[in-house]
Every structure is written in structure tokens, then in C-alpha cells.
Structure 1
Amino acid sequence: MAKRAYKYRFYPTPEQEVLLARTFGCVRFVYNTVLRYRTDAFFERQEKIGYTEASAYLTAMKKTEDTAFLNEVSSVSLQQCLRHQQSAFRNFFAGRARYPSFKKKRGRQSAEFTRSAFQYRDGRLFLAKCREPLNIRWSRDLPSEPTSINISMDTAGRYFVSCLCEFDPEALPTTPKTVGIDLGLKDLFVTSDGHRIGNPRHLAKYAAKLARDQRRLSRKQLGSSNRAKARKKVARIHAKISDCRMDYLHKVSRQIVHENQVICVESLKVKNLLRNPHLAKAISDVGWGEFVRQLAYKAEWAGRTLVAIDRWFPSTQRCSACGHVAGRIPLSVRNWVCQACSTEHDRDENAALNIKAAGLAVLALGEDVRPAT
């Protein structure tokens, strides 16, 4: 059994909208207040606050007159936000993430509910302290009863519910095909078979409209209702771009996993690549990290094998025919000739072939494909 989240959009009633707004506000308030409490305790008294102490602090807050409004919402979502904060601190101390940051009022809002705070009956979902079920657009059936749900509202004002369910992944039939994938900007990726999957450049399609609405937003008076409306228009454009990007990545990643038994990809440090001021916007738009992430979990569910080669492997510089390393090749050079064997290479196809060969070597022998120094 594996766990999978199924995300649906829903449309709350006015009563539910008020309850959710209050819940989001309380979750944000508790998270920020406890984060400030833990930070001050360490820097002022060198005292480390864990989840147990944070939970006790929340209990004391509920008994205080000024913060008694926390009792108006489900206590489960408040406890869950403290668990998420504890996970954030654990990732920080392990070096996997930055120091936890405060939640913003105008950012994405969310609240998590466990089984004690919701009911799922006859295909309908009821939240705690809510009489009517959520008006969910069920695009597909749930495989089982949710173990937990996450209610969220994005910056465009859309509401979503994510249901975490247990399911049995079905392995796809075994196929002899293997593929190497070279990620790029001109094309999203090029395979070792010579197939090119184009980069749709979603951000460029809406760049003019986005710039126009951002200029209009900058002219609105701070705190006015017109500024709030203009901000929502800009948020809708960003949401449209994000939805288009995710839809495209899901389709191409599913196609790759469906057709190939072994998938070889590069191990890219996208955060480091984003430091390039000339390519940062294009790299963010293409979504390399999200694409590889989707390949990883879809391959696991489908019984496929994903191999990530060392990020220092010279896939572009190495000749796929004789193995000669040509040295640094500028990004503007799309075709080059090997000096050792005179083979003419397409830059991306040659890299994909090398990635496939290195991935199969790692899979079969566990070899280190990093070049010798």
C-alpha cells in the first residue's frame, strides 16, 4: 500500500467561506506566534523549544482572554500547524532547508485536518464546525477513505481540497526500452532516441498581459479595494501560468514513464543554476526540478527505474562515439565535431546518449561516472 494525494477544487458557501477564513487566520496566527516564541527563547535564553513545549504554549494561549478566539475553530488544524513547524525546524537543523519563515496574510493559505476533524460519508466531505458538505468537483473517485485532508486557498482566491488516501499502485507491463534525457531551455528535453519535446514557454505567452496588469496594480492606492481587485487579477495570471506548466509536465512525464523501463536523467542543482541572472527566468519557467520530481514518483508507482547520474559528469563534452572529452563547449555552440574520431554531434542528442550510457553503467555496476581529477 502507498499513499497518494488527490486534489480537487471546491466552491464554499458563504458560511463555509467565513469559517475557512477564520481557520486560515488562526492557523497563521498560531504558527507565527509560536515561531516568534521559539526564536526569542533561543536567542534570549539559549532555550530550545520542542513540539511538546510549543503545544503547551498553544494551550496557554487558548486560555488567555486576548487570544480566546482560537477556540472558535477546530483545534486539530492548530495542532497540525505546530507539527509542520516542528518538521520545518527538523529540516533546518539537518541542513535540508532554510530557517522557518513567517506565514504571510496575502500568500497561499492552508489548514490540515485529520480524521477527527472531518467526516467522509457517501462521497460527501464534512468539515468540523460545518453543517453542510463541501461542494467539491469530483473529477475522479477516491480509492479509499481519506486519512487526512488539506484545505487551501491560493492567491487567486480559488479553494482546493487535497485528500490523502491509501492505494495499490499498479505496475506497468515490462518493456525493453531505455532512455537518456538531456534537459534544456530551447527544448524541455531531448531523448537519446532523438525525440525533442519543445519548451512551450508559458511565461512568455502571458508576459505582455502580466506586465500590463502589474503596471495597473502599481498605480492603485495602498489599502484600497481597487488595489485588492488588481492584485487578484495579477494572481489569476500567475495561477494560469502555473496550471499550464503543471499540466504540460504531467503529460510528458507520464508519457516517458509509460514508454520506458529505465529512465536516465541528470542530477541538477536548480537553485545554483538560478543564480545566473541571464537564465534564471527561463530556468524557472521550464520547471526542470518539478519534471524530475514527477518522473521519480511516477516511475516508482509504475515499477520503472529512474537513474540520476552525477551532476559533474561531462555529458555535453564527451563524444558518445569514442569517449573523447572535448573540453568546455560554449552554450551557443549547438553542433560540434570530435577531434579524435571526426564524428559530428548535435549537442543535446550527444548529451542524451552519454546520459543513457552512464545511467546504465551506474545501474549495472554502480560505477562512479565522475571524471577523474
Structure 2
Amino acid sequence: PSGKYFASLLFDCENQTAEKRQAEKFLGMDFSMHGMCVFSTGERAGYPMFYRNAEKKLAREQRKLSRCEKGSRNYQKQKKKVALYHEKIKNQRKDFQHKLSHSLAEDYDAVCVEDLNLKGIAGGLHFGKGIQDNGYGQFLSMLGYKLEERGKYLIKVDRYFASSKICSVCGHKKKELALSERIYLCECGNRMDRDVNAAVNILKEGKRIYKKCA
């Protein structure tokens, strides 16, 4: 790791404000476009993608709104209906994230994640709707303060750490790994879901960071 990377880790350690307990139970978590995130345990968050599921219905209601005369009574009525759909999706997402973040904060002493540039991912790969529907950034904020309240840790691994390319069993690093490759295959015989492999690597790197800061 570079000197800049070490400096960022030291800064994070020195700026812990709440009294912390010793971490014993760790979890690695990797961002996923589908289902929000994957855990080092092999489990998936299973986020229902509320916006995606309601997208057709929303589009239909938006078309009805566009056909209404702007400013008319029907326009105002339909505009309110569309707004209520969006509010429902927002509340469903928030409720799911609150329950999941509460569960993780209760069960684990430290959760290790990648410090991702979500805006860059959304714009660069044209995944805007998927990122917005996931609400991963909002979820991390919820998880962070719930862990903090309990004297626990949200450990952020550098975004340039090659979590997807490294074999979580033997440590071999692939030069290239296409997005289409959903199973990680290594010459050591490791065959694992790509996202789970990345989550395990994030867990290991998070533990390393924790030991350095402790």
C-alpha cells in the first residue's frame, strides 16, 4: 500500500470519537448491483429492488400525468398519486435498510466494506437507476451510526484494493477479471461466487486494518 493509503487509515483510527470495544466478530461486505450487497458468510442481503419492481406501474402513472392538462384538477390529483408511489418506494427501502443495518450492528463487532465512489460507478457504467434503487450509500450511513452507537466499527477498505481479482483461498491475483465472470476460478482449485470471494477478501483486509489501528 502507498504512503497516502496508510495516512488515510491512520486518520480514520485517530478520529474515532466513541468509546470502542474490542472487535472479535467480523463481517466482510461487498456491494452488489442486484440485492444491494453480499456477505463473507456467503449470504446475500436480498434487497427486493422496490423501484425496479414498481417501474412499469410508475411509468404508466407518469404517462397519465403527461396527458393531463397542466394545472387542472386531474393534473393535481394525478401528480399527487405519482408522488405517493415514490414516497411508498422510499419508505419501503428505508424500512428494509433500517432492519438489516440493525441486525448487522447487533450481530457483529466490525463490518468491513469497500470505500466505493458510488457516484462514479453510477455515471461511469450507466447504472444510475440500479445504484439509486439499491440506496447502498444510505444503507452504509445507517449501518455506520448504529455500529458507532454500540462502540463497534465500520472499517472502510481502500477502493483500489483488488478484492475481486484476489483468490480468497491462496492469495493469487488475476491480471484480468471480466464483469461477465460471475464465478471466481483459481488455479489452486478454488471455485467460488465472485461476489462472495470479494467479500471474504474485504473481510481479511478489514481485519488487517483493524489490527494495525488497535
TM range (shorter): 0.7 to 0.9
The residue type paired with residue 348 of structure 1 is D
Q: Distance in 1 between matches of 2:142 and 2:27?
A: 16
Q: Distance in 2 between matches of 1:172 and 1:312?
A: 27
1:351 matched residue in structure 2: 198
User: Superposed, which structure 2 residues align to 1:210-229 within 5 Å?
Assistant: 210-229=58-77
2:36 matched residue in structure 1: 188
User: Superposed, which structure 2 residues align to 1:275-314 within 5 Å?
Assistant: 275-276=123-124, 278-314=126-162
| Partner SS state of residue 329, structure 1 | coil
The residue type paired with residue 249 of structure 1 is Q
2:118 to 243, 246, 270: 270
2:15 matched residue in structure 1: none
**Cα separation, partners in 2 of 1:315 and 1:277, compared to 1, 3 Å:** closer
Give the conservation status (yes or no) of the 8 Å contact 2:21–2:152: no
2:105 matched residue in structure 1: 257
Q: Distance in 2 between matches of 1:313 and 1:206?
A: 35
**Which portions of structure 1, spanning 4 or more consecutive aligned residues, are displaced by more than 6 angstroms?**
171-175
| Partner SS state of residue 78, structure 2 | helix
The residue type paired with residue 167 of structure 2 is C
1:202 matched residue in structure 2: 50
Q: Distance in 2 between matches of 1:260 and 1:172?
A: 13
Q: 1:192 Cα shift? A: 1.1
- More helix as a share of residues: 2
2:167 matched residue in structure 1: 319
Q: 1:364 Cα shift? A: 1.1
Give the conservation status (yes or no) of the 8 Å contact 2:40–2:203: yes
Q: Distance in 1 between matches of 2:114 and 2:23?
A: 22
Determine whether 1:365 maps to 2:212.
Answer: yes
Q: 1:276 Cα shift? A: 3.8
Give the conservation status (yes or no) of the 8 Å contact 1:316–1:350: yes
Q: 1:174 Cα shift? A: 7.3
Percent of residue pairs identical:
38
1:342 matched residue in structure 2: 189
Normalised to the residue count of structure 2, the TM-score between the two structures is 0.85
1:86 matched residue in structure 2: none
Equivalent residues, number: 196
Structure 2 unaligned blocks of 5 or more: 1-18
| Partner SS state of residue 113, structure 2 | strand
Q: 1:342 Cα shift? A: 2.9
Q: Distance in 1 between matches of 2:61 and 2:20?
A: 46
The residue type paired with residue 162 of structure 2 is P
- More strand as a share of residues: 1
Q: Distance in 2 between matches of 1:236 and 1:271?
A: 26
RMSD: 2.0
Q: Distance in 2 between matches of 1:210 and 1:172?
A: 45
